[in-house]
Structure 1
Amino acid sequence: MATTKLKGNIVNLAGNEVNIGDKAPKVTVIAHDLSEVKVGGKAQIIAAVPSLDTPVCAEETRKFNEDAVQTDVEVVVVSMDLPFAAGRFCTTEGIENLKVGSDFRNKDFANAYGVLVADGPLQGVTCRAIFVTNEEGIVIHKEICEDITDEPNYEAVFNAIK
């Protein structure tokens, strides 16, 4: 079972572990307007965050929103937030250059990508993780942040798509 940390304490991750070289699972998450957002199967930067309502997740989403305009690769941020809360966050923060999706219904994304926090205080949300997929939907970069409170390595993410 894969693990990460929350403020230095080990937490287990549930679901199917996806690694570099694997075909990224195709799943659907829900946008703020309740439409569907497709994850997997094409060139994407997929950022899993626990909740947009935390400082680190908000900063990460703002950073990807700024950098998304510099690439042709679709950026999708996935959290367990309700779609309405995600929509309010995007409106308030001016998030317009990426897609934000909620995995609240069935946790399909979290289970398919192996990023579901299985225990500890954040049990039931996604850990902080990044997957970069190429045009064929193959994972070419993966980062499960060492601690859920850490931001990802943005430079490595954008180097992977060059």
Structure 2
Amino acid sequence: MATILLNGTPISVGGHFPHVGEDAHSFMLVDQHMQDVPLSKFYGRRKLIAVVPSIDAAVGLTIARRLEAMADLFDNTAVLVVSVDTPYALARTVQIEGFKKIQLLCTLRGRDFHKDYGVMITDVPLSGLMATALIALDTNDVVVYAELVRELNSEPDFDEAAQALLPPPPPREPEAEA
């Protein structure tokens, strides 16, 4: 069990948070159209998965907006924002915000996601919500970046996640001697 903070107060988070090098656990989430969305839908693409307590929480919307702005940086990458919200809340947010590059998903029928990804808040009154996290997977669903954000209302380190997803620069040609 991990501990994070809510405005400086410790809260418990249960489940197994993934570590770099592990295979990602499969999941079944729901999109804004109430359609089931499995992890396997994105196989062969890299995945950047942001977990937020709610898309209606300030931190959730801030993270979604930031990822929408960053999405073009990542070639062949699905950018997902996962919350406990209803598909109706996701649809409303997509319409109001005009999100086109990220996909909002919820745990309506995928409550195992909470424990399988180690983001299950167990302390009342927040039990049932998820901790803020950012997880990056390669094309084979292997974890290449994983951050359980220490403070529930804080943003993750987007730059570190981007570095884990972006391909390395091509090697430099050796300079010819004169």
Short-chain TM bin:
over 0.9
Residue equivalent to 2:54 = 51
Residue equivalent to 1:137 = 141
Q: How far does residue 122 in structure 1 lie from its aligned partner after superposition?
A: 1.7
Cα distance change, pair 6–34 in 1 and its aligned pair in 2 (3 A): same
Partner of 2:73, secondary structure, is coil
Residue equivalent to 2:93 = 89
Q: Which segment is superposed worse, 141-150 or 96-105?
A: 96-105
Give the TM-score of the pair, scaled to structure 2.
0.86
Maintained 8 Å contact 2:28/2:110: no
* 2:6 maps to 1:3: no
1:127-154 residue CA offsets vs partner (Å, 9 max, x unmatched): 0001101111111101111100101111
- State, as a whole percentage, how many aligned pairs show the same letter: 28
Structure 2 gaps, min length 5: 167-178
Residue equivalent to 1:68 = 71
1:51-107 residue CA offsets vs partner (Å, 9 max, x unmatched): 011111101101101111221211111000001111101110111101111113341
Q: Aligned AA for 1:64?
A: L
CA distance in 2, matches of 1:39, 1:106: 11
**Number of equivalenced pairs:** 162
* 2:107 maps to 1:111: no
Structure 1 gaps, min length 5: none
| Larger gyration radius, structure 1 or structure 2 | 2
CA distance in 2, matches of 1:64, 1:130: 11
Moved over 4 A (4+): none
Q: Aligned AA for 2:58?
A: P
Partner of 1:69, secondary structure, is helix
Maintained 8 Å contact 1:76/1:98: yes
Maintained 8 Å contact 1:24/1:137: yes
